[in-house]
Structure 1
Amino acid sequence: MQKSVLVIGSLNLDLVIHAERIPLPGETVRGLGYEELLGGKGANQAVAAARLGASVRMGGRVGSDAYGHSLLDGLTAAGVNAAGVQVSEGPSGLAVITHAASGQNSIVVQPGANGAVTAADIVEMEFSGVGLVLLQLEIPMEAVCAAAKTARQAGVPVMLDPAPVQAFSNDLLQAVTWLTPNETEAAALTGGVFPPQETAEKLLAMGCRNVVLKLGECGAFLMGSDCEPVLVPSFAVKAVDTTAAGDCFNGAFAARLLAGDAPAEAARYANGAAAISVTRMGAQASMPSQDEVAELLENHR
């Protein structure tokens, strides 16, 4: 029986305002349009993995508002088992996103129900049959640490996306099989900007088993106990919205690791999935299908 991906993390409703550019501090710019889209780093990664063939379960919380219902419906429509998502009285998580014509974005997140996830919630989750646990930092650190500890005790590998970046203990990192920061997050964790291999070495010294540096258009750099140092190139595309590209990478990387791919092979696949995602608007709405990624990889053989 195929093992599943268990994603424990955030579910947000993304309120997206389109503008010619992201405003400077204190500046007001005129919006060019507005959308409400399904998001949240946890839910994004769950949807990405499910669309790419993985069996996926989601754990977390939504609010009792209409947004909560929409978020649950979105997971179910994507093929994610949302039985582990509880409903808290009050508002769901919200993300306010300014999307510039260049494809760049700025994001402010209001946790809502995501802030109510506790270590007790983790204890109630079922880890049997799970092949990989995906975590991010949009739920309380208490819950993240409890999830990593429980996964380690169950012998299940953990993938941690350290976003939004914040301080955490080495005890957490010692339970992490794959740490997947982008360049900004890696710089915050290591205290500076270094070449990819030096950055990876510094992160590995903190206790995690493997590192995947997500380098945007430069690709992904892998290093650790389970892979030799390697830079996996990205795919050249015209980006229209970079929202959730990193989430797409994580979901795709997890799906392919569980399918038996070697880490570098899984990273190439994940680069392809992320490349497709940035050519579309939205978070979950931008996640590609298996056929789309297969076609891109075949065309870039």
Structure 2
Amino acid sequence: MTGDVLVFGSLNVDLVCRVERIASPGETVLGPTYERLFGGKGANQAVAAARATSSEVSVRMAGAVGADELGDAVLANLKTHRIDVTAVTRASEATGAAFISIDAEGENAITVASGANRTLSADRLEGMPHGEGTVLLLQMETPHAASIEAARSIKAGGGTVVLNLAPVPARPAPAFIRALCDPVDWLIVNEIELSAAGQAIGIADGSLRDRASRLSDALSLGVIATLGARGVVVAEPGAEPFTQAALDISVEDTTGAGDTFCGVFAAGLAEGLDVRLAVRRAAIAASLACRRLGAQTAMPTRGEIETFIDLQ
């Protein structure tokens, strides 16, 4: 069975600067130039899904941009990737922007000005697919209450909900984590996000694999912990966790790797793949995204992913 990927999330323009090292507080670091790229975790994940999925799966974006030139450009970019923008609204606030520094090792530091993303509400999902074949993909760059409402709406219609807990709030309250995750089927976290979510509900010790498993049991959902070059750990309630390796590649830029994983994983679920294969494809795609500069510009196509699928 195939369905739809519905991304509810942020839409930004990224200003990217390469530097020798990322600035410390109070320090100025010079870079030779900068690039203007398209970003926002929501848009990134939608593009990753659209590039990776078959033509039988529709990718739709629910978000908000400003009534400005940047908003026009963001919408045009989404359309070039076959992404339905019916549920993207124009807000009175400026289109969101992210300011990204990338150091000589390919690591990054990101500051986001939310802008129009702050206006996103769950009513943007009216008229969007809500059935069994819908996979809703959420992140944390838009209003949290709206994301919870959107998740409940899709869950009530029989769809699948995937939440990328990024960026995770500082010291999230236990009640917040439980409310956020209650309508969620799959929680995708990196090591920092896993620690934050675990500590919020009293899981602070043990190996990463153990903490992922305990978090899965405690919240009654699947947990996917992405570990960069060390691959992925996947835990489901009452089951033994399994791991998926990353590709051994030369890293140019890690900026869009996490978003690539999320989008390709959601696309796999929408195509009806089992979880192991969906995770495998997503891990390969995330690895391949590290070979090039930028987020959306580095995301692999379906053909590139298929080329590497038999190497693991």
- TM category, shorter: over 0.9
**Partner residue of 2:182 out of 150, 174, 184:** 174
Structure 2 counterpart of 1:17: 17
Structure 2 counterpart of 1:204: 216
Aligned amino acid, residue 241 of structure 2 = P
In 2, Cα distance between equivalents of 1:123 and 1:265: 31
Structure 2 counterpart of 1:241: 253
Change (3 A) 1:91 1:227: farther
Structure 2 counterpart of 1:66: 69
Q: Does 1:102 align with 2:114?
A: no
What is the TM-score when the length of structure 2 is the normalising length? 0.91
In 2, Cα distance between equivalents of 1:108 and 1:204: 30
Aligned amino acid, residue 38 of structure 2 = L
In 2, Cα distance between equivalents of 1:124 and 1:24: 47
**Partner residue of 1:145 out of 148, 158, 167:** 148
In 2, Cα distance between equivalents of 1:193 and 1:84: 42
Structure 1 counterpart of 2:38: 38
Query: Does the aligned pair in 2 maintain the 1:58–1:82 contact within 8 Å?
Result: yes
Q: Does 1:80 align with 2:83?
A: yes
Please tell me the root mean square deviation across aligned C-alpha atoms, in Å.
1.8
Q: Does 1:261 align with 2:273?
A: yes
Deviation string, structure 1 residues 163-188 (Cα, Å, up to 9, x no partner): 11023341331211000001111111
Aligned amino acid, residue 149 of structure 2 = A
What is the TM-score when the length of structure 1 is the normalising length? 0.94
In 2, Cα distance between equivalents of 1:75 and 1:238: 29
In 2, Cα distance between equivalents of 1:239 and 1:193: 31
Q: Does 1:162 align with 2:165?
A: yes
**Partner residue of 1:117 out of 100, 120, 136:** 120
Q: How many residues align?
A: 300
Q: Secondary structure at 1:87's aligned position in 2? A: strand
Query: Does the aligned pair in 2 maintain the 1:253–1:266 contact within 8 Å?
Result: yes
Query: Does the aligned pair in 2 maintain the 1:12–1:38 contact within 8 Å?
Result: yes
Structure 2 counterpart of 1:132: 135
Aligned amino acid, residue 258 of structure 1 = A
Deviation at residue 197 of structure 1 after TM alignment: 2.4
Q: Secondary structure at 1:103's aligned position in 2? A: coil
Deviation at residue 118 of structure 1 after TM alignment: 2.0
Query: Does the aligned pair in 1 maintain the 2:213–2:241 contact within 8 Å?
Result: no
Deviation at residue 202 of structure 1 after TM alignment: 3.2
Q: Secondary structure at 1:60's aligned position in 2? A: strand
- Of the structure 1 ranges 193-202 and 252-261, higher mean CA displacement relative to structure 2 is found in 193-202
Deviation at residue 52 of structure 1 after TM alignment: 0.8
Q: Would you identify which runs of 4 or more consecutive aligned residues in structure 1 move more than 3 Å? A: 119-126, 225-228
Q: Does 1:213 align with 2:225?
A: yes
Q: Does 1:289 align with 2:301?
A: yes
- Of the structure 1 ranges 144-153 and 250-259, higher mean CA displacement relative to structure 2 is found in 250-259
Change (3 A) 1:50 1:232: same
Query: Unaligned stretches of 5+ in structure 1?
Result: none
- Of the structure 1 ranges 107-116 and 22-31, higher mean CA displacement relative to structure 2 is found in 22-31
Query: Does the aligned pair in 2 maintain the 1:5–1:57 contact within 8 Å?
Result: yes
Aligned amino acid, residue 266 of structure 1 = A
- Of the structure 1 ranges 121-130 and 148-157, higher mean CA displacement relative to structure 2 is found in 121-130
Change (3 A) 1:129 1:62: farther
Deviation at residue 123 of structure 1 after TM alignment: 4.7
- Of the structure 1 ranges 192-201 and 136-145, higher mean CA displacement relative to structure 2 is found in 192-201
Deviation at residue 130 of structure 1 after TM alignment: 4.5
Query: Does the aligned pair in 1 maintain the 2:23–2:29 contact within 8 Å?
Result: yes
